[in-house]
Amino acid sequence: MPSRREVLAGIGTVGVAAAAGCLGGGSPEPGTDDSYTWTTSGADLRNSRAVPDGVAPRDEPTVDWHVDLDSGIAASEPIVTENTVLVTTGPDIVAFDRETRERRWSIDPENDAYSYDSSPTVFDGTVYVPERQVLTARDLETGEVDWSREFERVIGRNSLAVSEVGDDARVYVAGGNAVYALDAASGDTLWEQEVLGIAQHALATDADSLYVATRGGELYDIRRGGAIEWRRTIDAGIRSAPMVLTSRDRRLRGGVAVASGDGAVVYFDRSGAREWRSEIGGAGGDGLAIAHRTVLARSGSTLHALDSNDGGTRWRVDLGRSTRNPPIVVGDTVYVGGDRLRAIDVEGGIGIGSLRIREERFEREETGDVNFVTAADGKLFVTTDVGRFEDETAELIVLS
């Protein structure tokens, strides 16, 4: 049997272009925008987990600064504004000053239990914090509470989004088998909608649609006024937050994608019709990403790149070990955690299937595993995982 190098060396010029996953309009370029933030789970209201025009390290990065989290693990992705990094450590949610590296405030500094598992969302100088069954609106600079709202059930993990249309700013939040729309300034209820099952993933919004996924496999399109537009059932369950694709992400009109519990990515158009299903094997992991007309999906130890138009496999890369860390995309690079931080060419380098060369831009080991990765202002914000019962503490590491 020929070796990996012999197989790749035998690929002709035409084959190389096809295997590299070219999109027809030229290869994606490194980003140019070095002034951006990551203010909500999933990077934006669509849960794209991507900043396609953003700048981030493409070569071996250097450490700008790092802080201990006084916890074995970060429970959710870092949220980064112009001046603040918010980290959910499990026992607490902490606001770090980006300039001084100091803890500016936290919500529960005396807590020892792992009580918090969701990232907050920042909008217009206010940070909306899911605190189990209570949603609080806090001043971003001081942490002081502007208002709070208690629910009958625990808020779903990252089931929080803030959307503004004109002067109408509202908070969407899911707790138990209900979804709520609240006035962003006061916390007053605008509407409540029951769903079948428990919402457990991040919410996604686009135009007049709110997409909600439940533990039992129900995917909802709820209109801005609170009425259900459509509901679709995935029998194997849903293993990721809904991710909205727009007309910029594919040749045809947009829709919504989710990872199913039987190891597939499923895509529905805006009417709720299923357009494609791509088998990737294993569990879909904690999240999908979309950039440059490529859907990135992690399944166990493999990162898959799928054509956003039909779900066909562009390329796949072995990450060495199975974890549940979702990928992100900044510029022309995919970043993903696990046993180390990996930076991968969004086109997968050169090769056929999983036989690749020049796909990896860099890899970096830390103390413990690399947990979550986000990005802002040309930098990567990385959390580590040393386990809840180890003597070491997890860290927030800022790389440039």
Residue 350, pLDDT score: 86
Give the C-alpha separation, 301 to 188, whole Å.
Answer: 44
Q: Name the token pair of 349.
A: 């380098």
Q: Where are the domains of the chain?
A: 1-77+238-400
Task: List, for residues 346-361, the tens digit of each pLDDT value.
Answer: 999 888 876 778 889 9
Give the C-alpha separation, 71 to 392, whole Å.
Answer: 8
Over residues 37-56, mean pLDDT: 97
Task: List, for residues 154-168, the tens digit of each pLDDT value.
Answer: 999 999 999 998 889
Please tell me whether residue 209 adopts helix, strand or coil conformation: strand
Give the C-alpha separation, 158 to 216, whole Å.
Answer: 17
Torsion, Cα 70 72 75 79, to 10 degrees, reads 40
Residue 285, pLDDT score: 57
CATH T-level fold of 1-77+238-400: Lipocalin (2.40.128)
Are 49 and 287 contacting, i.e. CB atoms less than 8 angstroms apart? yes
Residue 317, pLDDT score: 92
Residue 21 has pLDDT above 50, yes or no: no
Nearest-CA neighbor of 94 among 81, 82, 83, 109? 109
- What end-to-end distance do the CA atoms of the chain give, in Å? 42
pTM (predicted TM-score): 0.92
Residue 324 has pLDDT above 90, yes or no: no
Residue 388, pLDDT score: 64
Rounded (5°) CA angle 40-45-50: 75
Over residues 134-152, mean pLDDT: 97
Nearest-CA neighbor of 375 among 339, 330, 345? 330
Q: Which residues contact 202 (CB under 8 A, 6 or more apart)?
A: 41, 42, 47, 157, 158, 159, 160, 161, 241, 242
